[in-house]
Amino acid sequence: MMKTSFFSLLLLFLMISGITFAQKWQEINSVEDVCKAYPNEMKKMLGEFNLNYPGMEKVKIAWEAGNLAEACNQLLDYYKNSENAEHLRKTQTEKSGNTEAEADTILKNVFVIQNVRGQVPWGDDGHRDWYWKGPNNDREWAWLSNRHSQINHVFDVYYETGNPKYAEYVDLFLRDFIIKSMPYPAKKGSESIWRGLEVSFRAKVWSRIFYGMLNNEYLSPATRLLILSSLPDHAHYNRNFHGGNNWLTMEISALATVATNFPEYKKSEEWLDYSIGAMVESMKDQVYPDGVQTELTSHYHNVSLSNFELFKEICDRVNKSLPEFFNQTIEDMYFYIAHAVRPDGNRILNNDGDRGSDRERILKGAEKFNKSDWEYIVTNGQSGTKPTDGPSYFFPWAGHLISRNGFDADAHWSFFDIGPWGSGHQHNDKLHISIAAYGRDLLVDAGRFAYTGEVAEKFRPYARGSQGHNVLLIDGKGQGPGPRLAEEAISQKHWLITDEYDYAWSSFDQFAGVEGKCEHTRRLFYARGDLWVVVDQVKTDRPRKIEALWHWHPDCEVGVEGNRVFTQNEKGNLQVIPVGKREWKITFIEGQEEPEIQGWYSEEYNKYEPNVASIYSTNIESDSKFVWVLFPSEKVETGIQAEIISESIKEIKLKVWNEKNDKWVIDVPLE
């Protein structure tokens, strides 16, 4: 009797849940299957539609007659015959047996997320474990795998090859995921499936797949209906629980994507109006007048730029006008990356960013805004028109000085940061300097390593801390947070660009855990085409230990002779020469883990390798000044010497010379 009662209760539970005991998600293919398995989801889905929308008459008749399956059939017929999202529709490909290696790997549920390969396991419930955090137990791995870039790739490969196995995988993948993700929690979350960024990425990918496979036999009717049932939940999440800054640009552009690709949803018009208001206000808040996104991270600057562009394309497609400043701001954001780019086409590596190429992005912007001078910069003068300004540029709200001596591939390039801390993804690195010359990175930022998981547990404090940057440590301590946002542009008294030189300076006094008062002021003087001079001043109320950090790119072979640290590369070299009579202790650290992390470099998320950190250490009793000559050369050059000729409260005058009797006299202002 008890046994009968138990199975009766189990059957009742399964019926309420909307799926029979014997039915597996892989077997849910037809309209009738999904309506039988998930009647409540299908009813909820139809309730999301405006059934008075032109063309939806047959859907409405079937729905009002209480015929759920027929209403769903008519809904799919409506989409096949609609004119929505013409830009996403594809001509169906001819069947073939062609394959692609990366897609074949994905078909085994092996995903490469931020350079880490992992095979998603199957759970006891018959679904893939969408909560699996990858081989390094990294929640970022789970988040990013739930953005569905992997099936976006498989989808593209299907249309490139015509091999049905790729389309079939997309179908099964989506059906598995959507069923596993139910029910929609309708609240802000941070777990693997229902988090804002993942929701936003999926909405964009699913739109491509839905319309791209609209007349394709391999995307089952059940999967199509499950997509249509889940997209309103995705829109609801991005409408009600979106974040700010670059998160907002991704989430709100996704809301607009759903609203415009699926105008039949009851709330589509409301979603689009909200999207426009939110995106316009966000652009005002998160982009400075000099075109730099307020997080001051090259990587996330590009994320925001891409989504602002996407949003404008969405609005243009449905004839929704945006304020004139919206397009101007996009142009200004392109201006920044076009003029900050390294000679080799790679962007600044700063804050939570990756060192990657901006060349194609800048060329796209040059074409869009008819800027042949941007093309000239990023092609090293191979095409386009030589700029009438530059070659150095200062961005007064961001506080970024980009110094150059030209636009050719071997040009000098440096990045000096005198701006605010940033509104997100910050590192404690004010007054940091990066240098490249003769096609080679020389002095570098350590990079971001990872946000969560084993790599982050080990390296994250180093990545964010001053230890991984070319700054000063005071009594072994680095910087604390500075001001997050600039309230005004940096005053002209802090920077100057002339034909002969660039000059900028700023100060910082918020050192974490340092007793008493201590202020570091750094001045950078670039004698165009010749050398850099750095003047560090420390004001202190007590004796201090000072450590000056200079981090070298891993490809550099670094040596030391006396007080001079130098590279010994076949092409592209730099010397760090302290000027004056101060005694320095020089330590080289490479790939150190104990007693603390030092001498590591990460050019891309989850990728890292040892690099040389040359550390100059000294003790001071009171206010002190340190002068450095940073001397670049194509080949290894020896015999560089420097001395201070004179010094006053207004300036320091230096003489630098080499064995060939070349001589440079540099006046560095102190006021």
Residues 465 and 555 in one domain: yes
> Dihedral of the CA atoms 204, 206, 210, 212 (nearest 10)?
60
Q: How far apart (Å, rounded) are the C-alpha atoms in residues 78 and 273?
A: 25
Flag whether pLDDT at 639 surpasses 90. Answer: no
Residues 330 and 440 in one domain: no
Residue 524 domain flag: yes
Residue 417 domain flag: yes
pLDDT in tens, 171-204: 999 999 999 999 999 999 999 999 999 999 999 9
Give me the CATH number covering residue 250. 1.50.10.100
Residues 512 and 433 in one domain: yes
Token pair for 441: 């990175």
Residue 105 domain flag: no
Mean pLDDT to the nearest integer, 84-95: 93
Count other C-beta atoms under 10 Å from residue 350's C-beta.
Answer: 27
Token pair for 171: 């179908």
Flag whether pLDDT at 3 surpasses 60. Answer: no
Residues 341 and 480 in one domain: no
Give the end of a domain, one of 339, 362, 384: 384
Containing structural domain, residue 415: 390-669
Supply angle C-alpha 535, 540, 546, rounded to 5.
60
Give me the CATH number covering residue 395. 2.70.98.70
What type of residue is 459?
Answer: F
Residue 337 domain flag: yes
Give me the pLDDT at residue 23, please: 62
Mean pLDDT to the nearest integer, 19-27: 65
pLDDT in tens, 430-483: 999 999 999 999 999 999 999 999 999 999 999 999 999 999 999 999 999 999
**Which residue, among 79, 114, 331, has the nearest Cα to 216 in the 3D structure?**
79
Residue 622 domain flag: yes
Residues 649 and 572 in one domain: yes
The mean pLDDT of the chain is 95
Residues 537 and 566 in one domain: yes
Give the end of a domain, one of 384, 413, 439: 384
Could you tell me the pLDDT band of residue 20, with boundaries at 50, 70 and 90?
A: very low
Flag whether pLDDT at 21 surpasses 60. Answer: no
Q: Do 483 and 507 form a contact (C-beta atoms < 8 A)?
A: no
Q: How far apart (Å, rounded) are the C-alpha atoms in residues 496 and 225?
A: 61
pLDDT in tens, 137-156: 999 999 999 999 999 999 99
**Which residue, among 180, 231, 232, 572, has the nearest Cα to 412 in the 3D structure?**
572
Q: How far apart (Å, rounded) are the C-alpha atoms in residues 510 and 484?
A: 13
Q: How far apart (Å, rounded) are the C-alpha atoms in residues 429 and 613?
A: 15
Mean pLDDT to the nearest integer, 408-426: 97
Give me the pLDDT at residue 518, please: 97
Give me the pLDDT at residue 641, please: 94
pLDDT in tens, 591-632: 999 999 999 999 999 999 999 999 999 999 999 999 999 999
Could you tell me the pLDDT band of residue 638, with boundaries at 50, 70 and 90?
A: confident
Give the end of a domain, one of 384, 404, 432: 384
- 671 or 193, greater pLDDT: 193
Residue 395 domain flag: yes
Three-state DSSP class for residue 239: helix
Please give the full DSSP string across 415-465, using - where no structure is assigned: EEE-S---SSS--S-TT-EEEEETTEEEE-------SSSHHHHHHHHHHHS
- 639 or 170, greater pLDDT: 170
Residues 395 and 379 in one domain: no
Flag whether pLDDT at 2 surpasses 60. Answer: no
Q: Do 486 and 419 form a contact (C-beta atoms < 8 A)?
A: yes
Token pair for 144: 């990013």
Residue 600 domain flag: yes
Mean pLDDT to the nearest integer, 282-295: 97
Residue 32 domain flag: no
Residues 515 and 407 in one domain: yes
Residues 306 and 377 in one domain: yes
Residues 321 and 409 in one domain: no
Owner of token pair 């562009």: 309
φ, ψ of residue 434 in degrees (nearest 5): -115, 145
Question: Residue 595: is the preceding peptide bond cis (ω within 30°)?
Answer: yes
Could you tell me the pLDDT band of residue 18, with boundaries at 50, 70 and 90?
A: very low
Element (H, E) at 496: strand 495-497
Q: How far apart (Å, rounded) are the C-alpha atoms in residues 449 and 137?
A: 15
pLDDT more than 90, % of the chain: 95
Mean pLDDT to the nearest integer, 117-130: 96
Q: How far apart (Å, rounded) are the C-alpha atoms in residues 55 and 42?
A: 20
Flag whether pLDDT at 15 surpasses 70. Answer: no
pLDDT more than 70, % of the chain: 97
pTM: 0.92
Q: Do 157 and 219 form a contact (C-beta atoms < 8 A)?
A: no
Residues 499 and 576 in one domain: yes
**Which residue, among 384, 461, 401, 464, has the nearest Cα to 429 in the 3D structure?**
464
* Number of domains, the chain: 2
Residues 401 and 300 in one domain: no
What type of residue is 457?
Answer: E
pLDDT in tens, 569-583: 999 999 999 999 999
Flag whether pLDDT at 9 surpasses 70. Answer: no
